Amino acid sequence: MESLTTNTDVRLTVTRCFRTLKSSTDSSDIITALRTLHSYLDEGPDSAATSAERAEFRRAHYSSALQLLVSNIQADWLHQLTAAQRAELWDGLFLAGPPEQALLVLMDAIGELRPTSNLDHVVSITEKFLQRGRLAELLWSYCLEAAPSDSPQLRETLLGRISALPDITANKLQLNNRALFRPQQYYPLLATEMLTALEHTCQALRAGTDCNLTFVAQTLGKVCIQGHGGSVLAVMAPRLSACTRSDMVWQRVCWKLLENVPQRWMESVLTGLVQAVSGPDALGRIIGNLVLTNKKAQFVITHKLLLLQYKYETRVLRIILGYLAADGDRRPLLIQVLRSVSQAWANSSAVKHTPLEQQLYVSKALLLSVSLLKDSEIQELRSELLQCMLGGMQTHLDSNVVRIRHMGMVIGEYLSSRMDINGTKLKFEYDQDEETRELLSLLAPGACDEPEAEPVNRADGPQETAETAESAQNASQTTSGAQALKTDPDSDLDSDDELTPYDMSGDQEISKASPPRYLRDCLEILISSEDPVRVELSLKAAESLVRKNSFAAREISVQMSKVLLHMDDKYNINGFLYLRQATMVALTVTDCIPVAHYLTTEFYSLNYSLRQRLDILEVLALAAQELSKPVTEKKAASISSATTAESTPYPGDNPVHWQQVVEKRIQSKTKRLTKKVNQPVTKATPNRYAPVAGHFFFPLLKNYDKPQVTFDLLGSDHLVLGRLIHTLGLFMHLAVNAPIAAQMGCALLDFVWAVRYHADQMVRRGVLFAVCSVFLSMPSQNLLVDISDQLFETRSWLAGIKKIVV
């Protein structure tokens, strides 16, 4: 009954806080709600919440609280908090609760948020999450006990987020990825965190507390199977080797860790481990007799790494075979390996069809295996070794490849010396090369006894390095402060009473808000923010953001145009109409067809004021004028000029040079009564308006004769009709030389012909401008073919136009 009451109280308090964060605009209420949520995470003696309440909040409400914060990351109240308050109240919630829930929420937020300052904020919190050792706390929480709400699906998701964090952040942040999230730094950090969790496990076992290493083992296997085992085990193997040298608890922890690695990931873990350890003794201390209890590990160690793969160094062979020979329980596996390797070396088909590198690898394994056998074991295997020597030598010596013959000679000499057949030893004559010298070096006494390197870091804990660095930094800061005091011993005696006060009359108050750096931030502020300062800064920065990042602008061009079209000047912003119009023009120029289609469709829609319809016409007209400007490609011009300068031939090699000379002579000897004035020829240049002119023009002619409830174009709304005709005439004028100019001219002439005798003077002037644009922009041949019937009527109308217009 008491637990039920506790759960109800916590739920009601959290619900009240959530409601405040969603709807309140009072900063004090927001801060109070955040502090209330923080009280459930504070485990100190002064905490206002009981242990039962804290446990209930962590179990049922913590993830919801974090998700609510992420969903309201664009809220005005968050930007009204100071930097210290934001770090304590907002960021602190992600860094103080259950780490597995916080990591899942942060990774989901990184995947869902678009490239904005909000994403930068979440990324910064994730970076702090890693720097403060929260991964070690996460791993240790699973070592100590599984969470009550733990499930296989949750554990699999968490494993995926931990092991693939660099991939997730790189796919989302791309070139803006943080250095800590890169594989070169993240996976060594993850290895250090796993070592910290293992150290806590050893301490707990000494204290008599049971632990579970399943999750840590799954994390290690997941990271190794994804190809990052080298980075992780390069950090873990030396530390584990040093800790297991004299501590049996560490050995038991390492053995249990390897036993809990899932079978599907065992190969990748063992493959990375045998390359990372310093010697066979270290491998034996870390994995124990795993090859005797795990069939997958036995197959990898005794077969796959020796016979199927041959890319490893000789050191790996020494470690594997030395590990098998080091313990009496594992020596039967060494004899089994010797039989398999000798059969593979003597196989005639393998000698003919396998690469030379693999044959050399098998030869090294055979030499090392025989060198590790005792004399008694050699005598037991004498018949098998003799058969291997005779058959294998015959196969190798019959080969026409010199390298294969040399391998057979070296192996034959060594096998005969170890078996001591009737006191005779084989001896071949061959020229020693690099391969033979390497094989002979394996036969030197102590070739398999590789000294184990001492780890550089002999600290008691993996985290001691970071603590030492931090203390050194603090000491350096203290030293620098002491030196500063020594440099200026009279600094305390200085007085600032004689200093002249600085004139601050012309200073301006610095706004707490900063202009948005991303276009999506700007859009979200314009949609949801109630802060006049943020809205004004976003509106001022919108145009430049649109023009700087055309890719992002195309994604939200229609949505942002809709927001701006319906936006009112409710905060009395200076230059509001100009800023809104400039941004809409930039959107139309950047993403012509979708935005033009939206604006022309909304021009005839319901529930729009005449001001908004006029705004649409102005935006379309200004965008068309900007698009019609010639395209200037400075880079292309410089490249073409450079190419022309480089490819200019020598004057004597020019085949038309003589024609120019003759032409100059004729011009110099010709007498003319009048000199012709040569006018410069206008060079044709492309523009961006011609291909999209139809998208601006034809949709505005679609519904002009359909009166709406609030809009009657051919009726009482003369002002809009006149502006519409002027705008269409401008579109026609800008479409000169465009392929679609003929169709636009015919359509426009048909439209204005019906209103050429309109009662409103502005409409008649618009008709005159439109007709002139048609005759000036349409090709002459199309005038005679397409509108020949209207030419004479137009002529008579133009003759009397002075009376009609004036």
pLDDT digits (tens, 9 = 90+) for 133-174: 999 999 999 998 654 457 888 899 999 999 999 999 999 998
Entry pTM? 0.74
327 contacts: CB under 8 Å, gap ≥ 6: 284, 289
**How far, in Å, CA of 674 to CA of 94, rounded?**
89
pLDDT-wise least confident of 322-336, 416-430, 479-493, 508-522: 479-493
Spatial separation of the C-alpha atoms in residues 103 and 219, rounded to whole Å? 15
Q: What percent of the chain has pLDDT over 90?
A: 47
CB 521 within 8 A of CB 118: yes
The 8-class DSSP code of residue 467 comes to H
Q: Judge whether 328 and 374 are in contact, CB under 8 Å.
A: no
User: Is residue 483 over pLDDT 90?
Assistant: no
246 within 8 A of 282, measured Cβ to Cβ: no
Tell me the C-alpha distance between 380 and 386, whole Å: 11
- What's the DSSP call for residue 181? G
Length of the chain: 806
Q: Is-contact 31 89, C-beta < 8 A?
A: yes
pLDDT, tens digit (0-9, with 9 covering 90-100), for 348-387: 888 888 899 999 999 999 999 988 988 888 888 888 888 8
Whether the CA torsion 601, 603, 605, 607 is positive or negative: it is positive
The per-residue pLDDT for range 257-312, each reduced to its tens digit, is: 999 999 999 999 999 999 999 999 999 999 999 999 999 999 999 999 999 988 99
Q: What value does the mean pLDDT of the chain take?
A: 83
Q: Which long-range contacts (CB under 8 A, 24 or more apart) does 108-114 make?
A: 109/70, 110/168, 110/169, 110/172, 110/173, 111/168, 111/172, 113/70, 113/73, 114/518, 114/520
d(CA 323, CA 301): 10
Identify any residues that bridge with 424 across adjacent strands, giving them in sequence order.
421
Give the C-alpha separation, 345 to 352, whole Å. Answer: 11
Domain extent listing, the chain: 531-628, 692-803
Please, are residues 180 and 186 in contact by the beta-carbon 8 Å criterion? yes
The CA-atom distances, in angstroms, between 84 and each of 89, 288, 458 are 8, 51, 39
Give the separation between CA 209 and CA 290, rounded to whole angstroms: 25
Distant-in-sequence, close-in-space partners of 309: CB < 8 Å, separation ≥ 6: none
Q: For 100-104, 281-285, 786-790, which range has the lowest pLDDT when averaged over its residues?
A: 786-790
> 775, 752 in Cβ contact below 8 A?
no
Q: Taken in order 237, 221, 179, 473, is the CA torsion positive or negative?
A: negative
- In tens, the pLDDT along 599-638 reads 999 998 888 888 999 999 999 999 999 999 987 654 444 4
Contacts (Cβ under 8 Å, ≥6 apart) of 212 = 142, 143, 144, 145, 146
Give per-residue burial for 315-335: e unless 16+ CB within 10 Å, then b: ebbbbbbbbbbbbeebbebbb
Q: Cα angle at 341 between 386 and 267, to 5 degrees? A: 165
Please compute the mean of the pLDDT values over residues 711-729 and round it to a whole number: 85
pLDDT band at 717 (very low <50, low <70, confident <90, very high): confident
pLDDT tens figures, 546-604: 999 999 999 999 999 999 999 999 899 999 999 999 999 999 999 999 999 999 999 98
What would the pLDDT profile of 390-426 be if each residue is shown by its tens digit? 888 888 888 888 888 888 888 888 888 887 656 567 7
Phi-psi region of 324 (alpha: psi -120 to 50; beta: other; left: phi over 0): alpha
Terminus-to-terminus CA distance in the chain, angstroms?
93
Quick: pLDDT tens for 760-782.
888 888 888 998 898 888 887 77
Range list of H helices, 591-717: 592-603, 610-627, 634-647, 657-669, 693-697
- The predicted pLDDT at position 649 comes to 45
- Please state the rounded mean pLDDT for residues 189-218: 94
Highest mean pLDDT among 32-36, 191-195, 350-354, 733-737: 191-195
